[in-house]
């Protein structure tokens, strides 16, 4: 769902025109609201790289699995590319990658020299091995036919080369990847602020923040905290807190993972603190003009449209 509310220049490089549509909440986790706030280069180099980390974030994966019955379509699209692990015959992990139509074992060699490979890759790989071993065409064909007829636990040996069909054991999610970089949540907060305050995000205060988003060190005035709510919910939510000395953007993903992005020593005056919600069960993009209206459930549905820089949708 696109809203054509664009700044005069890209929010990150502040050089090129914002010609690329950016999801405020990544589409990978169900974000629908898109705004043209980045140039193509910044969206590809910074945005895409950070979102790729979200795809491997263990907490985000567990949240999607916990809500799979409530968000089945989103869950099925998210799990493509996920890794699972099981124990191989040598006692070490085998990794299985989820595909669109079928799961796929990632090939590896054991310390004993055996090759563990997915059954769909086996014929081609076996042919390469047998050709390299100078086996005749007849031997190769006979071996492949026998392999194709094997049942679980059975083996076939041709001229010293043995192929064994082993069933995959019980798998567990591979949660070994680190969580997503704090820069992703700082970027989401910065883009959301543009929706609320417009061109004020180009104030000198934000220059160190933009440098951080582009790979430099985090400025002391920016703090990102990770918290957890009490339960998973099929929604994402972004809202402001106007504190006496600071401005805070709260990003709540799947109702559970809360990322508090605080712009310290930043005093602002706003009539209200708007709330943006992605209803994943809908799916719908919702906006409330204030926290109080959000608590009352008084949201308006965001629909495709336009607005000027001076009239951001949060006002």
Residue 314 lies in a domain: no
Distances (CA, A) of 96 to 56, 58, 117, 147, 305: 14, 16, 10, 21, 43
Q: What was the pLDDT predicted at 165? A: 85
Could you tell me if 144 and 292 lie in one domain? no
Residue 150 lies in a domain: yes
Assess if residue 313 is contained within a domain: no
Strand extents, DSSP E, 89-180: 93-97, 104-105, 108-109, 115-116, 155-158, 161-164, 172-173
pLDDT attached to residue 276? 95
Residues 167 and 183 in one domain: no
Cα gap 286→296, rounded to integer Å: 13
Is position 125 within any domain? yes
Spatial distance between the Cα atoms of 208 and 66, rounded to a whole number of angstroms: 37
Report the pLDDT value the prediction gives residue 305, as an integer from 0 to 100.
Answer: 55
Same domain, 38 and 99: no
> Is residue 194 included in any domain, yes or no?
yes
The four Cα atoms 212, 315, 267, 12 give a dihedral, to 10 degrees, of 10
Domain end position, chosen among 141, 173, 205: 173
Question: What CA–CA distance (Å, rounded) separates 288 from 17?
Answer: 29
- The pLDDT score that the predictor gives to residue 315 is 39
Q: Is 87 found in the same domain as 207?
A: no
- The answer to whether 189 and 241 have CB atoms below 8 angstroms apart is no
Are both 62 and 11 inside the same structural domain?
Answer: yes
Asked if 195 and 69 sit in the same domain, the reply is yes
Q: Residues 6 or more apart from 55 whose CB is under 8 A from it?
A: 28, 78, 81
Query: Are 96 and 167 found together in one domain?
Result: yes
- Please tell me whether residues 157 and 252 are part of one structural domain: no
Count helices and strands (H / E) in the chain.
9, 19
Whether residues 163 and 212 share a domain: the answer is no
Q: Is residue 149 part of a domain?
A: yes
CA-based nearest residue to 76, from 65, 66, 86: 65
- Alpha carbon distance 231, 174 (integer Å): 23
In a shared domain, residues 297 and 210: yes
Residues 267 and 189 in one domain: yes
Angle formed by the axes of helices 182-197 and 48-55, nearest 10°: 120
Query: How many structural domains compose the chain?
Result: 2
Produce one character per residue of 100-109: b if its CB has 16 or more CB atoms within 10 Å, e if not. Answer: eeeeebeeee
Could you say which of 173, 207, 232 is where a domain stops? 173
Per-block mean pLDDT, blocks of 10 residues, the chain (315 long): 88 94 94 94 84 92 97 96 91 91 88 84 86 87 87 80 83 94 96 94 96 94 97 97 94 98 93 92 91 91 57 42
For residue 151, the enclosing domain spans 83-173
Residue 311 lies in a domain: no
Query: Strand locations in 142-283, DSSP E?
Result: 155-158, 161-164, 172-173, 222-228, 235-242, 247-253, 257-263, 275-279
The residue from 122, 154, 173 where one domain ends is 173
The closest of 252, 254, 189, 251 to 222, measured between CA atoms, is: 189
Residue 312, in any domain of the structure: no
Name the β-bridge partners of 253. 257
Compute CA distances 279 → 62, 164, 189, 259, 276, whole Å: 19, 49, 19, 18, 10
102 plus 190 within the same structural domain: no
| Global pTM value | 0.86
pLDDT at 310: 36
């Amino acid at each position: 769902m696109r809203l054509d509310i664009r700044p005069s220049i890209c929010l990150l490089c502040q050089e090129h025109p914002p010609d690329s549509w950016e999801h405020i909440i990544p589409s990978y986790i169900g974000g629908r609201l898109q705004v043209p706030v980045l140039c193509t280069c910044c969206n590809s180099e910074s945005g895409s790289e950070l979102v790729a980390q979200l795809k491997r974030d263990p907490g985000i994966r567990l949240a999607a699995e916990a809500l799979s019955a409530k968000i089945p379509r989103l869950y099925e699209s998210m799990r493509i590319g996920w890794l699972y692990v099981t124990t191989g015959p040598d006692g070490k992990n085998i990794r299985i990658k989820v595909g669109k139509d079928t799961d796929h074992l990632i090939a590896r060699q054991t310390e004993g020299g055996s090759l563990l490979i997915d059954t769909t890759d086996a014929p081609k790989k076996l042919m390469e091995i047998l050709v390299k071993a100078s086996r005749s065409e007849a031997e190769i064909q006979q071996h492949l036919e026998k392999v194709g007829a094997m049942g679980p636990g059975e083996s076939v040996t041709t001229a010293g080369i043995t192929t064994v069909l082993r069933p995959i054991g019980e798998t567990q999610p591979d949660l070994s990847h680190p969580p997503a970089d704090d820069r992703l949540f700082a970027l989401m907060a910065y883009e959301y602020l543009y929706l609320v305050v417009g061109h004020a995000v180009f104030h000198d205060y934000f220059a160190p923040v933009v440098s951080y988003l582009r790979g430099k060190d985090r400025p002391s005035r920016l703090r990102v905290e990770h918290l957890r709510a009490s339960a998973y919910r099929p929604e994402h939510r972004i809202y402001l807190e106007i504190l006496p000395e600071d401005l805070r953007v709260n990003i709540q993903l799947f109702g559970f993972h809360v990322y508090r992005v605080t712009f310290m020593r930043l005093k602002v005056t706003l009539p209200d603190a708007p709330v943006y919600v992605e209803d994943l069960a809908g799916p719908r993009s919702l906006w409330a003009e204030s926290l109080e209206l959000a608590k009352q459930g008084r949201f308006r549905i965001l629909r495709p449209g336009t607005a000027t820089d001076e009239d951001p949708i949060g006002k």
